[in-house]
Chains A and B, each alone.
Chain A
Amino acid sequence: MSAALNFMDKSYARVWGLIKGIRHEVLRAVILFGTAATLAFFVLYPLGILLKRSLYDYAADAWTLANYIRFYSEPELYGAFLTTVKLAFVSVVVSLLIALPMAWGVSRTSMPGRTLIRSLVVLVFSTPSFLGAIGWVILLGPRAGLLNKPLQAIFGLNYGPFNIYGFWGMVFALSFFLYPFLFFSVAAALDNMDPGYEQAAKILGAGNLKVSLTVTLPLVMPSILSGVALVILESFVVFGAPAVIGAPVHVHTLSTMVYRLFSGDPPQFHMAATAAVPIVLMAGLILVFQKLYLGRKQYQTITGKSPQPELVDIGRWKYVLSAFSFTIVFTGIVLPLLALLQASIIKVWGMPVTWDNLTLNHYISIFTQSDIVVRAFRNSFVLAGGTVVVCVLFTFVMAWIVERTTFPGRELLAFLSMIALSIPGVALGLALILAFAGAPFYLYGSLWIFLVGYSVKATPIMFMFARSALKQVHEELEQCARILGAHWAKTMKDITLPLMKKGLLSVGTIVFCMKFRDMPTSIMLYMGGLEVVSVLIYEFSEEANMSSLGALSFLVLIINLALVSISRRLVGKGAFEL
């Protein structure tokens, strides 16, 4: 028995206990406060500075709405806002048209190839949309587009009939990467639906179509809404595809407008901030909607314990559905990636594809031509790795506080995490520069600001995961070790962490993959000498250096796919459905 509590007299025990207890309370408060303060500092402070920049006139030392008035009266600036809204709306419609039949076909019919389609859509989902966009530029660029040239020859045109640049090109390229949000959401709901609901309707006399419209559809409506919310969010937030397809012809979304205002000559920080604020608000709104209306979905793991739903026989239509699905997938991802491949292995861009004209030199020359690519790879690897390490540790502490303690106010951590999630990459990059570039931090010009940016974006995902994983380690497994004599740290080492290991590795790999290819935040934070791989891809595409662009893009693609398959192998489907 511990000497510390070895008393005969109860009142003495009370007093001594009070003294030691206060010490413990102080320690608890320090840990909770420290974690929350760190999170708040790196999340709320930059956000606050961003808001202030848009609302405060530094020259006149007064609050003002002038920036917003200017933004919403100048057609070019306001146009970016409208374009973004248009993009979101059209993307939702297109995604619904694509994803609903595909999800239904994959889950509820005997459509041939449905298992393959599922895996392929996962592949689509895990490919960054800017790579796809670059592929489409290669294919459908008005002058030298690979698909345009043969058509030019046949019809004797000066310019190709298809022009990828512009709003509709943006919609086209993006839709192929947005529909998976809806697809997964709806397919999961259909997979897990109790067949009893439909069977009950059928027994009462309803035909297939009526059942689908009056029973199935309403039941999956929450997942449809959830998927739609994610599509809208992503359209507001995405940077790469609009930057490559829209910006060159001055079709801007809010994200690319922020970048343009920020990197213009002279840079207009206050206008950039003003452009960024609606993105943040929209993202926040959607996340609040998700949490309140559909909150339960966030921490569920997909275990699929419900019985298999019945397959609906649609006769010959299943071939039509199958053809449709494969066409979508093929067009959406295979075509543009083939374009990237082609650009990377042809000796000189523009030459016809013959055996003589193929080479693997470009893959080597991007590394040997100059230091820049090597440096960028090194930076990307180091930053992605560093982010994973920092976030694993930090989010584990956060998850522990929220799940295993009774500290008052610990839900604050979850709230701060949600705020971090709702800051889109471009806005975060801008906010970090505004907050930390100058005195007293001077983080601009070093990799540290990247680490902060990546970590802020990665924390919500890892926190959600860490929390869910910790929930699954039954508290009694830890309590048992404690009562057998293990102190807290030993219990973590022997019991908790080993049981979370596989999942941690899987999520860590995903986060590594996402940070390795991150574009929106990186494009704002980089400067000469501090490039990361995605920024180089953007630069190559600006320079129209097709061979290097193709080689680098394809390389990134391979790495991306490798990391994704490793992660999936570690844990199975669960890692994806966040």
Chain B
Amino acid sequence: MSHLRINELTKKFGSTIAVNNFSIDIKKGESVVLLGPSGCGKTTLLKLIAGFTKPDEGLISVENKVISTPYEVLPPDKRQMSMVFQSYAIWPHKTVFENVAYGLTMRNMRKTEIQSRVRDVLELVQLTGFEERYSTQLSGGQQQRVALARAMVVEPSILLLDEPLSNLDANLRVEMREELSALHKRVGITFVYVTHDQAEAMVLAQRIVLMKNGLLVQEGTPKDLYEKPKNSFVASFIGVANIFSGRPESSALDEKNRIRIKTSCGSVQVGRQTQQADLSKDKIFFCVRPEWVEFPSGAFDPNANQFKAKILKRQYYGKTINYEAAIGEQEISIEAKFKHDFPVGAEVTVELPPDRCVCLQEN
């Protein structure tokens, strides 16, 4: 049984459609990340789930009980969810203890019980001893952890997180997302997490839902989205991708399920996601990620997707060296291991392994 189900949800603000016919099933204990650029509707979706806004169409239900309809919305205080806000929303007129205990004070608990629960959760987020401080006396990272403690101490069935790390500096962000990931594994609450940071999504998600302009573009595990992107938006948003386009040289796949595509570089054998390609079109897109480009040793074999390329730019990173190279008029990015060291202007042979050339459906 799904834990949180969203059915054909639509929300408009005036003439802008913030969330467009969105549907998803989230399982209990799953960690789902809503990923996308600013304005893609992910925060609106979170607010709809929390009950702060009413949908224009569609339904939201939890364990088969409907909680949001276009006519009535179960108020946020009755949903047994919890939320970590982007601004943390730590109440400045209450101490850390009072902040964290607030949710518990409304649940008819004895004071001693509240105290022990607050203490436990503060230990969980490593803020023991901070009980009497006020938010002005806390750093960004500490405030974020108070917000997390406050959200978790009430043991919600669903935890909503709205870009909780975006206000932290880079190092702290890396540390906190590891902690959040570990926390999820330990506690097992359903996480719905919103971010625009692709690296965060990769670390925290069991399932990524990529959104653009209110629409669900692609959902899947991080590996699915990385290795089998649906279109060039997905390919470029998660990781870096070299996008190629060309005309298919035949209308059917060969025996290895590959198709030859005539691009400006020449004829390229493409081997991934070829079943979804529409071969009747006269323009097909595919992509190759920079780290999948290889430098073959041995003789030049034009039948094995090998091409002559000229190095245009070179950036040394120590472990890797990144190149911008040109195959004819097509420019590609290459991420090479340190041992493939070429100067700018060098003529090299590159290989695009067919199984690493992924067909894209452009719409």
B-binding residues in A (CB < 8 A): 1-2, 4-8, 10, 13-14, 16-18, 20-22, 24, 474, 476-477, 479-487, 490, 494-495, 498-499
Question: B72, A24: Cβ atoms under 8 Å?
Answer: yes
**Closest-CB distance, A239 to chain B (whole angstroms):** 42
C-alpha spacing A476/B46, complex, angstroms? 13
Top 7 closest pairs, chain A to chain B, by CB = A21-B71, A484-B103, A17-B71, A17-B72, A476-B89, A17-B69, A13-B66
Question: B79, A483: Cβ atoms under 8 Å?
Answer: yes
Q: Name which of B57-65, B195-203, B251-259 contacts chain A.
A: B57-65
Question: B71, A479: Cβ atoms under 8 Å?
Answer: no
| Interface residue from A20, A474, A495 paired with B87 (Cβ < 8 Å) | A474
With known contacts A20-B71, A476-B87, A476-B89, A481–B102 Cβ distance under 8 A: yes
Q: Which residues of A sit under 8 angstroms from B82, Cβ to Cβ?
A: 483-484
Question: B69, A13: Cβ atoms under 8 Å?
Answer: yes
| Interface residue from A2, A476, A498 paired with B78 (Cβ < 8 Å) | A2
In the assembled complex, 6 residue pairs joining A and B whose CB atoms fall closer than 8 Å, in A order, are A474-B89, A477-B89, A482-B77, A485-B154, A498-B93, A499-B91
With known contacts A5-B66, A485-B106, A485-B154, A480–B71 Cβ distance under 8 A: no
Question: A479, B83: Cβ atoms under 8 Å?
Answer: yes
**Closest-CB distance, B130 to chain A (whole angstroms):** 18
C-alpha spacing A490/B77, complex, angstroms? 11
**Closest-CB distance, A512 to chain B (whole angstroms):** 24
> A5-B66, A476-B87, A479-B85 known; 19 other A-B pairs, CB under 8 Å?
A1-B62, A1-B65, A5-B67, A7-B65, A8-B64, A10-B7, A13-B66, A14-B71, A17-B66, A18-B71, A21-B72, A474-B87, A474-B89, A480-B150, A482-B75, A484-B77, A494-B102, A499-B91, A499-B93
Q: Which residues of B sit under 8 angstroms from A24, Cβ to Cβ?
A: 72
Question: A5, B85: Cβ atoms under 8 Å?
Answer: no
**Closest-CB distance, A429 to chain B (whole angstroms):** 41
Q: Which residue of A lies closest to B93 (CB)?
A: A498
Is B250 part of the contact surface with A, judged by Cβ < 8 Å?
Answer: no
Q: Which residue of B lies closest to A481 (CB)?
A: B102
Is B281 part of the contact surface with A, judged by Cβ < 8 Å?
Answer: no
**Closest-CB distance, B30 to chain A (whole angstroms):** 20
Q: Which residue of A lies closest to B99 (CB)?
A: A480
Main secondary structure of the interface of A (DSSP, over half): helix
| Interface residue from B52, B69, B78, B106 paired with A1 (Cβ < 8 Å) | B78
C-alpha spacing A379/B52, complex, angstroms? 46
| Interface residue from B7, B75, B87, B92 paired with A499 (Cβ < 8 Å) | B92
A-binding residues in B (CB < 8 A): 7, 50-52, 59, 62, 64-67, 69-72, 74-83, 85-87, 89, 91-93, 102-103, 106-107, 150, 154
C-alpha spacing A470/B338, complex, angstroms? 57
Q: Which residue of B lies closest to A487 (CB)?
A: B77
Which of B62, B75, B76, B93 has the most CB atoms of chain A within a 10 A radius of its CB? B76
Q: Which residue of A lies closest to B98 (CB)?
A: A494
| Interface residue from A5, A13, A14, A479 paired with B76 (Cβ < 8 Å) | A479
**Closest-CB distance, A380 to chain B (whole angstroms):** 34
Main secondary structure of the interface of B (DSSP, over half): loop
Question: A6, B77: Cβ atoms under 8 Å?
Answer: no
With known contacts A17-B71, A485-B107, A495-B91, A480–B59 Cβ distance under 8 A: no
Question: B91, A2: Cβ atoms under 8 Å?
Answer: no
C-alpha spacing A240/B106, complex, angstroms? 55
Q: Which residues of B sit under 8 angstroms from A13, Cβ to Cβ?
A: 59, 66, 69
Which of A13, A476, A484, A498 has the most CB atoms of chain B within a 10 A radius of its CB? A484
Q: Which residue of B lies closest to A22 (CB)?
A: B71
Q: Which residues of B sit under 8 angstroms from A5, Cβ to Cβ?
A: 65-67, 72, 74
**Closest-CB distance, A13 to chain B (whole angstroms):** 4
Question: A484, B106: Cβ atoms under 8 Å?
Answer: yes
C-alpha spacing A157/B78, complex, angstroms? 86
C-alpha spacing A480/B79, complex, angstroms? 13
Q: Which residue of A lies closest to B86 (CB)?
A: A476
Question: A484, B93: Cβ atoms under 8 Å?
Answer: no
C-alpha spacing A474/B92, complex, angstroms? 11
**Closest-CB distance, B47 to chain A (whole angstroms):** 8
With known contacts A2-B74, A477-B91, A499-B93, A483–B64 Cβ distance under 8 A: no
C-alpha spacing A2/B85, complex, angstroms? 25
With known contacts A17-B71, A487-B75, A476–B65 Cβ distance under 8 A: no
With known contacts A13-B66, A484-B154, A20–B78 Cβ distance under 8 A: no
**Closest-CB distance, A565 to chain B (whole angstroms):** 25
C-alpha spacing A332/B303, complex, angstroms? 96
C-alpha spacing A22/B69, complex, angstroms? 13
| Interface residue from A7, A18, A476, A477 paired with B66 (Cβ < 8 Å) | A7
C-alpha spacing A13/B68, complex, angstroms? 9
**Closest-CB distance, A322 to chain B (whole angstroms):** 38
**Closest-CB distance, A488 to chain B (whole angstroms):** 8
Which of B64, B66, B103 has the most CB atoms of chain A within a 10 A radius of its CB? B66
C-alpha spacing A20/B69, complex, angstroms? 11
With known contacts A1-B65, A6-B65, A476-B89, A483–B72 Cβ distance under 8 A: no
Question: B78, A479: Cβ atoms under 8 Å?
Answer: no
Q: Which residue of B lies closest to A8 (CB)?
A: B64
Q: Which residues of A sit under 8 angstroms from B79, Cβ to Cβ?
A: 1, 483
Q: Which residues of A sit under 8 angstroms from B87, Cβ to Cβ?
A: 474, 476
Question: B76, A482: Cβ atoms under 8 Å?
Answer: yes
**Closest-CB distance, B148 to chain A (whole angstroms):** 12
C-alpha spacing A13/B66, complex, angstroms? 7
Question: A480, B85: Cβ atoms under 8 Å?
Answer: yes
Q: Which residues of B sit under 8 angstroms from A477, Cβ to Cβ?
A: 89, 91
Q: Which residues of A sit under 8 angstroms from B77, Cβ to Cβ?
A: 482-487
With known contacts A5-B74, A486-B77, A480–B83 Cβ distance under 8 A: yes
Which of A14, A16, A17, A481 has the most CB atoms of chain B within a 10 A radius of its CB? A17
C-alpha spacing A6/B154, complex, angstroms? 22
C-alpha spacing A494/B7, complex, angstroms? 35
Q: Which residues of B sit under 8 angstroms from A476, Cβ to Cβ?
A: 85-87, 89
Q: Which residues of A sit under 8 angstroms from B51, Cβ to Cβ?
A: 483
Q: Which residue of A lies closest to B157 (CB)?
A: A1
Question: A483, B91: Cβ atoms under 8 Å?
Answer: no
C-alpha spacing A486/B67, complex, angstroms? 18
C-alpha spacing A16/B51, complex, angstroms? 18
Question: B102, A10: Cβ atoms under 8 Å?
Answer: no
With known contacts A1-B80, A17-B72, A484-B82, A479–B89 Cβ distance under 8 A: yes
Q: Which residues of B sit under 8 angstroms from A481, Cβ to Cβ?
A: 91, 102
C-alpha spacing A364/B106, complex, angstroms? 56
**Closest-CB distance, B74 to chain A (whole angstroms):** 5
Q: Which residues of B sit under 8 angstroms from A20, Cβ to Cβ?
A: 71-72
C-alpha spacing A485/B102, complex, angstroms? 9
**Closest-CB distance, A238 to chain B (whole angstroms):** 41
C-alpha spacing A147/B77, complex, angstroms? 71
